[in-house]
Amino acid sequence: MSCVSAAKAILGCSGLSAEEGLTTLVSHETSINALMLERSERHIIVADSGKLGANSSFCYGSPSQVDTLVTDASANPSLLESLLDAGVGTMMRVEVQND
């Protein structure tokens, strides 16, 4: 994996908070996700609103490493503001349709 490089890394997470950053419940994801953040130029994190402000067992990145956060339209505005203050670059809120 140390030879991998990418223009963009699109990652999920179990939690994203201003205090703990990017976290996961799965220990073996930690090293791979951290390496992809290190070896890519742009970092896009996809996390539904239930994961914002939440912390899980294993941390793999800081809020300032998130270039773009993609979340759903029901995300709490105060949580989004705290993430921006912690260094998240930009945010995209999308309307989720359940068919």
Q: What is the DSSP letter of 40?
A: E
Query: What does pTM read for this prediction?
Result: 0.92
- Per-residue pLDDT of the chain (99 residues), as tens digits, is 668 899 999 999 999 999 999 999 999 999 999 999 999 999 999 999 999 999 999 999 999 999 999 999 999 999 999 999 999 999 999 997 877
- For 51, other C-beta atoms within 10 Å of its C-beta total 21
